[in-house]
């Protein structure tokens, strides 16, 4: 692997080169030893691993978005203003400089009677070169930022990590990998969390794929 470009900067990057390289390698050869097959739906395969500390699962997702190019996927993934339009779960979403860090604040709508959750996290996108193919890698991780205090009635998720890698599928689509873990805390039944992972991830990818298709129209209206 050689060549890289970091596209989202804000002070020091909180991620290591190896973390970016690791996500990139998952596209070439999925690392699923020790992971349990969870579900497969709409061309998306999900594996999970139990976290003994939290009693929750971490997930790895592999799939293909068959009619959207990876550079468009990466742009849509990073465009917070656009996400407010296509993601109905977003209550509040913005990026700001706080306590010497560039972070994102994200308030997520949860169905009644559950309380909303919010996240404060750092995120960085890099373009890598792997065997002559451009790979877009996005890493995100929760951060402690005292100047963004918790909100009454909203549960702060402070244990969140995500990685995503996108490259061409060799045609007109994108080969995608995602690793995801968070601890939503509170009294959410385990069956509901599992149901959300099984249905929510493919649903999110379908929603994002639709958003990618309409992104050029969004940009043209914005200009």
Domain architecture of the chain: domains with CATH: 4-222 (3.30.530.20)
Do residues 50 and 204 touch, judged by C-beta distance below 8 A?
Answer: no
According to DSSP, the residues that pair with 119 across neighbouring strands are 106, 157
pLDDT over 80 (residue 8): no
pTM to 2 decimal places = 0.90
Cα–Cα dist 161/23, whole Å: 13
Q: What angle do CA 189, 42, 188 make, to 5 degrees?
A: 10
Mean pLDDT of the chain: 89
pLDDT digits 0-9 by tens, 148-177 = 999 999 999 999 999 999 999 999 999 999
Question: pLDDT band at 100, cuts 50/70/90?
Answer: confident
Residue 184 DSSP code: -
Query: Rounded to an integer, what distance in angstroms lies between the CA atom of residue 26 and that of residue 130?
Result: 11
pLDDT tens track for 52-98: 988 889 999 999 988 999 999 999 999 999 999 999 999 999 999 98
pLDDT at 190: 75
């Amino acid at each position: 692997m050689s060549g890289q470009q970091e596209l989202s900067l804000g002070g020091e990057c909180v991620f290591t080169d190896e973390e970016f390289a690791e996500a990139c390698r998952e596209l070439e050869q999925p690392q699923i030893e020790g992971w349990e097959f969870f579900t497969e739906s709409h061309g998306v395969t999900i594996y999970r691993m139990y976290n003994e500390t939290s009693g929750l699962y971490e997930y790895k997702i592999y799939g293909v978005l068959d009619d959207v190019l990876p550079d468009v996927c990466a742009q849509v993934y990073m465009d917070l203003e656009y996400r407010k339009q296509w993601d109905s779960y977003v209550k509040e979403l913005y990026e700001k400089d706080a306590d010497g860090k560039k972070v994102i604040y994200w308030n997520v709508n949860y169905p009644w009677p559950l309380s909303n959750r919010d996240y404060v996290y750092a995120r960085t996108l890099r373009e890598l070169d792997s065997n002559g193919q451009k790979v877009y890698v996005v890493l995100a991780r929760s951060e402690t930022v005292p100047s963004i205090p918790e909100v009454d009635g909203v549960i702060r998720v402070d244990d969140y990590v995500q990685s995503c890698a996108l490259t061409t599928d060799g045609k007109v689509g994108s080969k995608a990998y995602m690793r995801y873990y968070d601890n939503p805390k509170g009294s959410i039944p385990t069956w509901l969390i599992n149901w959300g992972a099984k249905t929510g991830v493919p649903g999110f990818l379908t929603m994002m794929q639709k958003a990618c298709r309409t992104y050029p129209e969004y940009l043209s209206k914005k200009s």
